[in-house]
Amino acid sequence: MTAYQHDHHGFETRAIHAGYEPDPTTGAVIPPIYATSTYKQDGVGGLRGGYEYSRSANPTRTALEGAIAALEEGVAGFAFASGLAAEDALLRAVCAPGDHVVIPDDAYGGTFRLFDKVARPWGLEHSPAPVSDVDAVRAAIVPGRTKVVWVETPTNPMLTIGDLEALAGVAHEAGALLVVDNTFASPYLQQPLRLGADVVVHSTTKYVGGHSDVVGGALVVRDEEVAERVAFHQNAMGAVAGPFDAWLTLRGLKTLALRMERHSDNAERVVAFLAAHPQVSEVIYPGLPEHPGHAVAARQMRRFGGMVSFRVTGGVEQALKVCERTEVFTLGESLGGVESLIEHPGRMTHASVAGTDLEVPDDLIRLSVGIETAADLVADLEQALA
Ligand X SMILES: *Cc1c(COP(=O)(O)O)cnc(C)c1O
> Shortest distance, CB of residue 174 to ligand X, whole angstroms?
24
Map the footprint of ligand X across residues 156-175, applying CB under 6 A.
156
117 is catalytic: no
Catalytic residue chosen out of the listed positions 20, 34, 51, 108: 108
Residue with Cβ nearer ligand X (6 or 211): 211
Provide the angle, in degrees to the nearest 10, between the axes of the packed helices 374-385 and 315-325: 140
Active site residue 4: no
Tell which positions 43-102 bind ligand X, by CB under 6 A. Answer: 82-84
Q: Using the rule CB under 6 A, which residue among 146, 183, 249, 264 binds ligand X? A: 183
8 Å CB contact between 204 and 55: no
Judge contact between 364 and 311, C-beta under 8 A.
Answer: yes
Q: Which of 92, 138, 206, 259 is catalytic?
A: 206
Q: Which residue is nearest to ligand X (CB)?
A: 83
Kindly state whether residue 206 participates in binding ligand X, applying the rule CB under 6 A.
yes
| 136 CB neighbour count, 10 Å cutoff | 15
Given 39, 55, 194, 347, the catalytic residue? 55
Nearer to ligand X, 109 or 169 (CB): 109
Q: Are 124 and 92 in contact (CB under 8 A)?
A: no
Residue 301 Cβ, how far from ligand X at the closest point, in Å?
A: 15
Torsion of CA 9, 6, 93, 160, to 10 degrees: 10
Least distance from ligand X to the Cβ atom of residue 32, Å: 25
Indicate whether 345 belongs to the interface with ligand X (CB under 6 A). Answer: no
- The reply to whether 108 belongs to the active site is yes
Residue 3's identity, in one-letter code, is: A
- The residue type of 47 is L
Stretch that binds ligand X, among 55-63, 198-206, 244-252, 253-261 (CB under 6 A): 198-206
Count the helix, strand and coil residues of the chain and give each as a percent rounded to the nearest 5: 40, 15, 45
Of 54, 58, 205, 309, the one binding ligand X (CB under 6 A) is: 205
Contact region for ligand X (CB under 6 A) — 104-112, 117-125, 249-257, 270-278? 104-112
Q: Measured from the CB of residue 335, what is the shortest distance to ligand X in angstroms? A: 6
CB of 6 to ligand X, least distance (A): 26
Could you say whether residue 106 binds ligand X (CB under 6 A)? no
Interactions with ligand X, residue window 309-338 (CB under 6 A)? none
Q: Binding residue for ligand X (CB under 6 A) from 108, 150, 207, 247?
A: 108
User: Toward ligand X, which CB reaches closer, 336 or 346?
Assistant: 336
Size of the site for ligand X (CB under 6 A): 16
Of 181, 245, 363, 380, catalytic:
181
Please list every residue from 136 through 155 that binds ligand X, using CB under 6 A. 152
83 vs 370 by CB, closer to ligand X: 83
Candidates 103-111, 223-231, 252-260, 368-376 — which segment interacts with ligand X by CB under 6 A? 103-111
Residue 251 bears catalytic tag: no
**Residue among 312 and 353 whose Cβ is closer to ligand X:** 353
- The residues annotated as belonging to the active site are 55, 108, 181, 206
Site of interaction with ligand X (CB under 6 A): 82-84, 108, 110-111, 152, 156, 181, 183-184, 203, 205-206, 215, 217
